Structure 1
Amino acid sequence: MEKQKQNLILILIFSLLCSNGNTFSLSRDYEILLHVKNTQINDQNKSLKDWLPNTYHYPCNWTGITCDSRNKSVTSIDLSEIGIYGDFPFNFCRIPSLQNLSLAVNFLGNSISSHSILPCSHLHLLNISDNLFVGNLPEFNSETFQLRVLDLSLNNFTGNIPASFGRFPRLKTLILSSNLFTGTIPSFLGNLTELTHFELTYTETMKPGSIPSELGNLTKLQFLYLSDINLVGNIPDSVGNLISIENFDLSRNSLSGKIPYAITGMKNVKRIILFENNLSGEIPQGLSNLTSLSLLDLSQNALTGKFSQELGSLNLSILHLNDNFLSGEVPESLALNPNLLNLSLFNNSFSGKLSKGLGKNSALRNIDVSTNNFTGDLPEFLCVRKKLQRLVTFNNRFSGSIPDEFGECDSLIYVRIENNEFSGSVPARFWNLPELDVVKMDHNKFEGSISGSVSRGITKLILSGNRFSGEFPVGVCELVELVEFDIGNNLFTGEVPSCITGMKKLQKLEMQENTFSGEIPGNVSSWTELTELNLSHNRFTGSIPPELGNLPDLTYLDLSVNFLTGKIPVELTNLKLNQFNVSDNKLSGEVPSVFNSRVYLSGLMANPSLCSNVMKTISPCSKHKPFSVVVIIVLVASVVLIFASVLWFLKRKSKFTVGKSKRAYRTISFQRVGFNEEDIIPFLTSENLIGRGGSGLVYKVKVKTGQVVAVKKLWGGNGRQKPEMELVFKSEIETLGRIRHANILKLLFCCSSDDFRILVYEYMENGSLGDVLHEEKCDELLDWSKRFRIALGAAQGLAYLHHDCVPAIVHRDVKSNNILLDHDFVPRIADFGIAKTLQIQGSENAMSRIAGSCGYIAPEYGYTLKVTEKSDVYSFGVVLMELITGKRPNDSCFGENKDIVKWVTEISLSTSHEGVQDCGVTQIVDSRLNLDTSDYEEVEKVLNVALLCTSAFPISRPSMRRVVEFLKDHKVAHPKS
């Protein structure tokens, strides 16, 4: 018994000692954390506000801190994405129990010395990606380091990869992507025998170099990503030793030679991605051994030959062979693959017929065989499993009719079969497939009529260049999402129904070269987004509807070769037309002054009764004018106008009286204002109109307090509000009503009734940035200092939307016309009618259609319809280029098929070694600016930021928070494209 008591006492004493030891360890860690916060990092965003001294010296509930509850010590520090500044905080590594240190996505910078990294030798994970570190990579004393994960990506490290990086004994993950290295891939990385994940991508600064054969020693490697790093030479045979590899990606390099047969030794590979290289030769036949292969992408090479029959036995789920100029026939055996989900063979020289059995044995989702030399019928089983979503066969020589089975393919979303030799009638149910979004069937030999029931979700319906006949398909009028409709060059007849004017989202309407007759529908007020209208080569009669002149975005109007009569409506002069053609009609009267120009001459010809006293090739107008008739008309019109005005005034007065008693208006004030709806609504008159846009009219109103406000009255009225305008109204209220920032336009007040919706904003004296830059509406030149302040202010406004709003807000229509300027040229981001909130941080939301403005839309947006903050970043980069060049995004001076991004990028790359000031000034910088040396330095900094923002890859674009920092303090390295 005595002995048991002694043992118990010893255990208690030992436990007490351990407890004291643990308490001491935690107290030491607590002191180190506070010391680093106070001396090594700048927490200006107050993200670490809970890192405060406490009585118990207990840090385990602080932001980013994880402790081992058993040993009472700090094991992990994760300060990712909290906005800290400073140098590398090496003193964190003084905590001996620390295993994981993540500082990713912050503003840490400067170089990291080999001495400062030494205390971190006991770490298992070190992640400092997406910061601002520069200089050479530090030399690790690698033999003593315990690192399993090392991520140094998305920084500005330069030089070579140090030799010590080949001596990490336990390293499993190494990520070095998106830096500024100048060397090549070193062979000593083949010594990292425990490595399972290696990424080195998007680093074009690297010297051309080959793939070291030593990488074949990495038998545990599962993920290899070496894209866009100037790789040259052959793919070494040693890759066949990568027996554990699942992802093998060498895309966007300059690799040459044949794909080695040894690649068939990668027994577990699921994805082989070799697109955009200079590879040649045939596809190795032994690929049939790779039974786990799900994706094979060999696009944009120069491969020749044809598939091996063995390819059909591959366990493929995705096969990409696009842009390789592969030739020959696709083997029948390919159709036997039970896991083939995606087949992409576009932009090659394949010929012959597609296997009839394609889709019979696998649930095909996407097939793209466009731009080849295929012939014959479409395989009837492509959608037998009801999974096919994309059918793309354009630019081939396919013939025959669309199989009846396609009328049951409810999964189809995207169909492009244009430029073939298809014929016959389209299955009636095909037109009404529920998921259809894009249908392009133009330039074939289809015939028959279009079903009266068409899928309501279609956004593009292109049927031109066929033999479709019958009357206008009335079912099209119900396509509420339709953006583009082209039935030109067919055999349609009859009158065009007035319901066509109800397609509110229509941007392009082409009906040329048919035999339509009757009058052109005139009630076109709903076409607020229409940019192109082509009704040429038909049999339309009557006059040109003057209402066409009120369409805010119409730039292309072709009414030629019809039987139109009457005058050219003077309202058409309101339009900013790139194409105007009313030739070969029966028009009469004097040509409106705006069209009295050689630019429009060809579009006016063959109208014998038209006259002009300016253009000699058109008959001159008579000098004798029926003065008395004109006077009578003016007097009658004046009386009618006065009478109508009195009636209107009495009606409005009566309406206000009723409104006071019945409170017919629904109002919300978002700021403290000294006015109400009665001080606004009577002044929404033509005299106060200052602008019009896609969503409504804008008025300038001075209220009784003396304050001047801007009032937007949304399109719609007479008790019928447009659904999309309701969305704009709600979006503006929900967005601007809850945010406050010096660079975001203030929403003061809103008012709605059954008849209208109005939004009242602070008035911006200097209009929009687009007006000032391009319309010369400003009395003084916008000098560079003002332009830079506008760039910085707008960037701060967008950064607030992206990073400080919860949930984050994506504007989706960033452009110079949506950046307004007050009396001091302080910018305000405006027009949130199509803004979207991201409900989950970092999430991507698919939009039903492309939103934004031409010239500003990020390249990925058009085909993915994914909304991210990086879409706004791209658009802001275009605005920066506008500020530098003074040119519009789609200025004609750039040349054919070029926009401002391509133009500026090409020039900046050609002069990147000489500097903006020394070379290319007259081509890039606005010639109206008078710059000194310091201005040129700032221009070059802003230009580099613009180039980063407009990178083709969203991952390469900085966040708006980083853009603000770049504009404020940092020299931005010149990016390469």
Structure 2
Amino acid sequence: MATMLPLLLLFLSLPSLALSLNQEGLYLQRVKLGLSDPNGVLSDWNDRDDTPCNWTGITCDSVTRSVTTVNLSNAGLAGPFPTFLCRLPSLSTISLPNNSINSSLTLRISTCQNLTYLDLAMNLLVGPIPQTLPDIPNLTSLNLSMNSLTGDIPNSFGLFRRLETLILTANLLNGTIPAVLGNITTLKSLELAYNPFVPSRISPEFGNLSSLENLWLSGCNLVGQIPTSFARLSRLTNLEVSSNNLSGPIPTLIFQLTSLVQLELFENSFSGHLPAGWSNLTALRRFDASKNELVGTIPDELCELPLESLNFCDTQLEGSLPESIARSPNLYELKLFNNRLNGTLPNDLGKNSPLQILDVSVNQFSGEIPPNLCQNGVLEELLLISNSFSGNIPASLGKCRSLCRVRLRSNQLSGEVPAEFWSLPHVYLLDIGENSFSGHLSNMISGASNLSVLDISKNQFSGFIPNEIGSLGTLVEFSGSNNKLTGQIPATIVNLGQLGTIDLSNNELSGEFPPGIQSLKQLNELNLANNRLTGEIPVEIGSLLVLNYLDLSGNYFSGKIPLELQNLKLNKLNLSNNRLSGVIPPLYAKEVYRDSFVGNPGLCGDLAALCPRTGGGKSQNYLWLLRSIFILAGVVFIVGVVWFMWKYQHFKKTKKGITISKWRSFHKLGFSEFEILDCLNEDNVIGSGASGKVYKTVLHNGEIVAVKKLWGGSKKDDTSVDLERDAFEAEVETLGQIRHKNIVRLWCCCNTGDCKLLVYEYMPNGSLGDLLHGSKGGLLDWPRRFRIALDAAEGLSYLHHDCDPPIVHRDVKSSNILLDGEFGARIADFGVAKIVAAVNKRAESMSAIAGSCGYIAPEYAYTLRVNEKSDIYSFGVVILELVTGRRPIDPEFGEKDLVAWVCTSLDQKGVDNVLDPNLEYSTFKEQICRLLDIGLLCISPLPINRPSMRRVVKMLQEAGADNKHKVAKKDGKLSPYYYEDTSVPGSAV
């Protein structure tokens, strides 16, 4: 009677249910009732059918017509695990990955007695793993990865008798890895990576897994050494124990694992020499021992293996590179950067193998560059930074049309660069600075149509800069300082609309500015110091609103300083040692700018010791003038002291003032701290948050600044005070040293007894989040959104790759991207930023999660490891916001976030259903899809699959340049490009 009650309730709840539907269909209808189906995936589960065999996701036995498989992956279903599935007597497969199954996993799942395959990956499961799972007698595959399961792996798992695949990666399992897993002798694949297990050793019992082929234990807090019992794992093809705390020498037992194809040992503390015996591993294709403490030489026998990838980055290897490495027939990627290797590169390197990537940067190599590196015509990346290579660039490299990235900086190379080398069509980064190259820049450079960065600084190049450089439409940076270049700046340079940096200082250039410089709207840095340039400074420079570095010193410029320069927000201005005359613009006629104008005999102004005094006069007149100055200075001093004391007493009496205990400025300022304090009233508040208020302050000179006042008070406990101090210090130390057009400028800061003040440049259009999701969202058409994405990416790329040491923001979100008057984007709010110390060998672990809901990378939530890949994930969410117009967390998503909603919608409904309907995207749809594709790469669940920010910038630039880049599709739906990021942190990128 009890078993009939659920069926009776089912009939009562479904009055229209046809009596023809069989028993299994009735059970599945009950499953449907228990799940939320916002996408209508189960809409064809029709109660008028005889059987469910034609329903979506249902497979039946061809003979008995019984349900054998329920496959509803990527369906967007939500609710508890549907235990009614376990009433299907012939059910062998349950596949529900990438849904929102959101409860604890009930013990009743063990009643699915005929299951052989259970996949619940990428859901929202919480709580412990049921101990009863081994009661399913025929289960061969169990995948519970990427959920929020906690606690231990049950000891009962040792009772599995047929299990071949166990995947528990990326959960919150925080117990120990039980030794009883070694009892599952049928296991072929064991994946436990990226769980916050308590520190423990690898169980020797794992050596009993005689059938094991794949073992993935990365990021499991493992300590100690690899057990000697692993020598018995004769079928093992993949051994990954990276990102742990394993120590000791690399054990020789690995040479008994003759089936190994991939060996990942990076980010540990392995020490000692590389052992002998590599010739036994004839199947090995990839070996990565980066970020360890290895010493000694690379064994010849290792180099004779047909490796696909060999990586010893960030180790301490010493010695030369054996000639035998050149004989590796399948070697396509050789990375040995950041070691202590010396000697010469093998002369035949690349001759007998399809070499694609060679990175031996930051070593002690010498000799010439081998001529056969591109013998097979597939070399893409050549990085030899910071060695002692000498001689010429081989002529054969000028014919290597496959090259994309070339960095030969900081060597002893000399001679002329082969003419064809300048014209390689796919090179986007050409860095040959800090060598002794001579000769001219070839006009064949017009063939380098993909070039973004050209750095030839600190060489001995001479002659004219060719006019053909103006045809490089993708050029972003041109650095040619410290050479012997002559002639005029080519007029065609104004055609380079993407150009952000021009540094041609310390050359012998002459002539006037080329007309049309106002077209360089993206120009951030202009450095022409110490040349022989003449004529007037063009007034058009004042229209380059993103320019923040202007150095024209040491030339022969004449005439007046354009008043239009006051339109710029400059971090550096240097017009010294020219022939300028007239009046200094009022904004710069201050003592703090004096050094910017010295050495101009005809320049007049009120700055002391700047302008020469003319006319005769007697000595007593000078004495009288000097005496008057001293008297006036004394009066001013006394008045100032009296005024200060009065102001101080007034502040103390009213308790409304603030005593300045510390004042630090990071730029030349035209205002004082007292002027800032006078403007801090509630009428000027433009924002408020958990950390304090933000005020809009209009100064006496008309300049507008934003002042962040951090909360103070004496009622906080010591922990709160420490956190507040840490946030203040983090923001000050981080922003105080940054100079970039896409990072918000910190003018100065005040550290007082009652509060702390940070004074920033004012962003009139507020934050991206407020504008995008507020009533003014219509102001953000697609071109503006795309520019915002590129600006923000360049800012983050600067933090990750150009700061030393690198900086991880840790709270990238749309509300921390501010917009100037032209909707240019700047990264802001560095209160939780982390400067990653160069001495750190692995990502630092933090004591608490920093970030904002909806933006936090999945691995960050359970490992708390500071890593630039976390910023990249958050930036991917920002891209999804720009494309969809939706917030990262929205009630419409239910328990999902924007990432899950986009991925589900793309799979089920296609790309048109996720694009912001407010966009007129008919014209820009291809570019919008490209940006969406980049965003999907950034939110990849595994950090290693996310591109570096430098790569993101490159992809965005390519999308903006309208290259032949197509959106990849699979089964008619959008899918991200396959991408493998080779920019490992610490690499000489």
- Normalising by the smaller structure, the TM-score range is 0.5 to 0.7
8 Å CA contact retained: 2:450, 2:472:
yes
Deviation at 1:956, TM superposition (A): 7.2
Flag structure 2 segments of 5+ consecutive residues without an equivalent.
1-17, 615-685, 699-703, 711-764, 803-808, 819-824, 881-885, 898-940, 944-989
8 Å contact kept, 1:477–1:502: yes
Paired-residue identity, %: 39
For 2:889, the equivalent position in structure 1 comes to: 964
Alpha-carbon distance, 1:451 to partner: 1.1
Residue-by-residue CA offset, 1:140-172 (whole Å, 9 max, x unaligned):
241543222211111111111111222222222
Counterpart contact for 2:223–2:247, Cα < 8 Å: yes
RMSD of aligned residue pairs (Cα, Å): 4.1
Deviation at 1:86, TM superposition (A): 1.4
* Matched AA of 1:196: K
Q: Does 1:358 align with 2:352?
A: no
Partner of 2:140: 148
- Cα pair distance change 1:70/1:177, threshold 3 Å: same
Whole-Å separation in 2 of the counterparts to 1:583 and 1:892: 34
Aligned to 1:648: none
Matched, 1:502 2:490: no
CA deviations over 1:364-417 (Å, ceiling 9, x no partner): 111100001111111111111111111111011111111121122121111111
Quote the residue 1:842 is aligned against.
Answer: none
Equivalent residue for 1:492? 485
Of the three residues 105, 115, 118, the one matched with 2:98 is 105
1:57 deviates by 3.2
CA spacing shift, 1:824–1:371, aligned 2, 3 Å: closer
Match of 2:206 among 208, 215, 235: 215
CA contact (8 A) 2:468 2:492 kept: no
CA gap 1:322/1:128 in 2 versus in 1, 3 angstroms: same
Q: Is the 1:820–1:829 Cα contact (8 Å) retained in structure 2?
A: no
Partner residue of 1:879?
A: 814
Q: Is the 8 A contact 1:77 1:101 kept in 2?
A: yes
- Is the 1:274–1:299 contact (alpha carbons within 8 Å) kept by the matching residues of 2? yes
TM-superposed deviation, 1:447: 0.7
Aligned partner of 2:846 in structure 1 is 909
Question: What's the offset of the Cα at 1:255?
Answer: 0.9
Relative distance call for 1:501 and 1:832 in structure 2 (3 A) is same
In structure 2, what residue type is equivalent to 1:501? V
Query: Post-superposition shift, 1:319?
Result: 0.9
How far apart are the structure 2 equivalents of 1:410 and 1:526?
Answer: 32
Give, in angstroms, the shift of residue 47 of structure 1.
Answer: 3.2
Name the CA distance, whole Å, in 2 between partners of 1:859 and 1:560. Answer: 26
1:47 is aligned to 41
Q: 1:411-450 residue pairs with structure 2 within 5 A?
A: 411-450=402-441
Q: Distance in 2 between matches of 1:178 and 1:860?
A: 28
Name the counterpart of 1:465: 458
Query: Alpha carbons of 1:85 and 1:827: their partners in 2 closer, same or farther (altered >3 Å)?
Result: farther
Provide the C-alpha distance between the structure 1 equivalents of 2:420 and 2:213, rounded to a whole number of angstroms: 47
Figure out how many residues of one structure are paired with residues of the other and give that number. Answer: 720
Query: SS of 2:373's equivalent?
Result: coil
Q: What is the distance in 1 between the residues matched to 2:223 and 2:523? A: 49
Q: In the TM superposition, what is the alpha-carbon distance from 1:817 to its structure 2 partner? A: 4.8
| Residues 546 and 881 of structure 1: CA distance in aligned 2, closer, same or farther (over 3 Å) | closer
Q: Does structure 2 conserve the Cα–Cα contact (< 8 Å) formed by 1:327 and 1:348? A: yes
Aligned partner of 1:275 in structure 2 is 266
Q: Map 1:690-701 to 2 at 5 A.
A: none
Structure 2 distance, partners of 1:381, 1:823, is: 56
* Structure 2 residue aligned with 1:187: 179
Q: Secondary structure at the match of 1:112?
A: coil
From 509, 528, 531, the equivalent of 1:535 is: 528
Q: 1:353 to 1:944 in 2, by over 3 A?
A: closer
Q: C-alpha separation between the residues in 2 aligned to 1:44 and 1:826? A: 30
CA drift of 1:601 comes to: 3.3
Amino acid at match of 2:487: G
| Cα distance between partner residues in 1 of 2:306 and 2:773 | 66
Taking a change above 3 Å as real, the CA distance of residues 942 and 515 of structure 1, as seen in their structure-2 partners, is closer
Matched, 1:129 2:121: yes
**Cα separation, partners in 2 of 1:323 and 1:565, compared to 1, 3 Å:** same
Change (3 A) 1:449 1:574: same
Cα distance in 1 between the residues matched to 2:780 and 2:867: 25
Match among 212, 236, 239 for residue 248 of structure 1: 239
Alpha-carbon shift at residue 354 of structure 1 (Å) = 1.3
Structure 1: distance between partners of 2:789 and 2:467:
25
Q: Counterpart in 2 of 1:170?
A: 162
**2: distance between equivalents of 1:962 and 1:165?**
41
> Counterparts of 2:87 and 2:798 in 1: how far apart (Å)?
46
Correspondences of 1:262-301 after superposition (within 5 Å): 262-301=253-292
Aligned to 1:585: 578
CA positional deviation for 1:600 = 3.3
Q: 1:298 to 1:599 in 2, by over 3 A?
A: farther
Deviation at 1:944, TM superposition (A): 9.3
Measure the CA separation in 1 of the matches of 2:163 and 2:336.
Answer: 39
Distance 1:268 1:310, change over 3 A: same
Specify the code of the residue in structure 1 equivalent to 2:46.
Answer: L
Deviation at 1:24, TM superposition (A): 11
Q: Is structure 2 residue 226 aligned with structure 1 residue 235?
A: yes
2:505 to 494, 503, 512: 512
CA contact (8 A) 1:357 1:379 kept: yes
CA distance in 2, matches of 1:467, 1:87: 71
Within the candidate set 14, 35, 46, 2:30 is matched to: 35
Please say if residues 194 and 859 of structure 2, whose CA atoms lie closer than 8 Å, have aligned partners that are also in contact.
Answer: no
Structure 1 residues 219 and 822: CA distance shift in structure 2, 3 A? closer
SS at match of 1:602: helix
Structure 1 stretches lacking a partner, 5+ long: 1-22, 623-765, 785-814, 837-846, 864-873, 917-923, 925-938
CA offset at residue 213 of structure 1? 1.8
Q: Quick check: 61-70 or 29-38, which moved more?
A: 61-70
Alignment of 1:353-432 (within 5 A): 353-432=344-423
1:203-235 CA distances to partner (integer Å, 9 max, x unpaired)?
A: 2x2211111122222232222221112111111
Q: Which amino acid aligns with 1:220?
A: S
Contact 1:877/1:945, CA 8 A, preserved across alignment: no
| Cα 1:881–1:227 shift into 2, 3 Å | farther
Instruction: State the shift of 1:596 in Å.
Output: 3.1
Q: Distance in 1 between matches of 2:279 and 2:857?
A: 47
* Distance 1:951-1:816 versus aligned 2 partners, 3 A rule: farther
How has the CA–CA distance of structure 1 residues 544 and 783 changed in structure 2, closer, same or farther, with 3 Å as cutoff? closer
Residues 1:83 and 2:76 are matched in the alignment: yes
Give the residue type in structure 2 aligned to 1:173: T
Secondary structure (helix, strand or coil) at the match of 1:563 reads coil
2:115–2:139 CA contact under 8 A, matched in 1: yes
- AA partner of residue 964 (structure 1): I
Q: Give 1:485 shift.
A: 0.9
The change in CA–CA distance for 1:159 and 1:335 in structure 2 (over 3 A counts) is same
1:313 and 2:304 correspond: yes
Give me the whole-angstrom Cα distance separating, in 2, the residues matched to 1:946 and 1:222.
Answer: 25
Counterpart of 2:236, as a letter, is I
Q: TM-score, normalised by structure 1?
A: 0.67
Letter in 2 for 1:48: L
Alpha-carbon distance between aligned partners in 1 of 2:82 and 2:591, rounded to the nearest angstrom: 69
For the structure 1 residues 386 and 543, does the alpha-carbon distance in structure 2 shift closer, same or farther, using more than 3 Å as the test?
Answer: same
Query: Distance in 1 between the 2:79 and 2:264 partners?
Result: 39
In 2, Cα distance between equivalents of 1:217 and 1:852: 54
> Does the CA-based 8 Å contact 1:512-1:537 persist in structure 2?
yes
Cα offset for 1:878? Answer: 2.8
What is the letter of the counterpart of residue 527 of structure 1?
A: L
- Within the alignment, does 1:323 sit opposite 2:310 as a pair? no
2: CA distance, partners of 1:363 / 1:82: 43
Note if contact 1:819-1:830 (Cα within 8 Å) is conserved in structure 2. Answer: no
- SS of equivalent to 1:461: strand
Hey, what does 1:480 align to over in structure 2? 473
Please report how far the alpha carbon of residue 65 of structure 1 lies from its aligned counterpart in structure 2 after TM superposition. Answer: 2.1
User: Alignment partner of 1:552: what SS?
Assistant: coil
Choose the corresponding residue for 1:120, options 112, 126, 135: 112
Code of the residue aligned with 2:813 in structure 1: it is V
| Matches for 1:556-955 after TM superposition, within 5 Å | 556-613=549-606, 615-619=607-611, 817-819=767-769, 821=771, 830-833=780-783, 851-854=790-793, 857=796, 877-880=812-815, 889-890=827-828, 909-910=846-847, 952-953=868-869
Q: What is the alpha-carbon distance in structure 1 between the residues aligned to residue 707 and residue 846 of structure 2?
A: 29
Secondary structure (helix, strand or coil) at the match of 1:216 reads helix
